[in-house]
Each structure stands twice: as structure tokens, then as C-alpha cells.
Amino acid sequence: MADKQTWDEIKKLYPDEWVILVDYSLDDNEDVTAGTVLAHSPQKADLRPALADPEDAAILYTGPARPLSGVMVRFGNETV
């Protein structure tokens, strides 16, 4: 398994890809600051087999934030 890297290093190594991180670190805002890359792929679906092994893993996208589409959020009786 690879060494633990900072989030900035991971984004540079795997631009615009989905990554599975294990042994990850969080800051006070619960944002990932570092981790060990278990698997990576441009397609999120390709990572499903790798998810069978780790007990605790984070799946993150290294590229720009993608807008949500087709998602409905419900707050009490109000839907947005």
C-alpha cells in the first residue's frame, strides 16, 4: 500500500478522479487533509470492488465540485 499523502498531493497525482482513501486525517471542519490512496479511477463505479475490503474509507473526487442533479432534499415538510 502507498504512503499517506496530503490532500493537495493526492489531487495533483490523480486529477479529476475518484479516490478511495484509508488511514485518512480530518481537520476541525471534518474535511480530509491527508490519506492513503487505496484505489482511484475517473469512473466512480470502477471503485466498487475496492470497497469490499476496507472497514473505514472515504470516497472523494479530486476535481472541481460537480453540481447535484436529480437529488431531492427534504427538510421537515419542505422539499428543496
With a cut of 70, say whether residue 21 has pLDDT above it. Answer: yes
Residue 80's pLDDT is 44
Q: Write out pLDDT tens, residues 46-76.
A: 998 888 877 788 899 999 887 655 555 566 5
pTM attached to this predicted model: 0.76
User: Does the CA dihedral 34-39-43-44 come out positive or negative?
Assistant: negative
The CA R_g of the chain, rounded to the nearest whole Å, is: 15
**Total structural domains in the chain?**
1
Name residues whose C-beta falls within 8 Å of residue 50's C-beta, 6 or more positions apart in sequence: 20, 38, 39
Residue 15's pLDDT is 97
Domain that holds residue 73: 5-79
Looking at the chain, the whole-number percentage of residues with pLDDT higher than 90 is 57
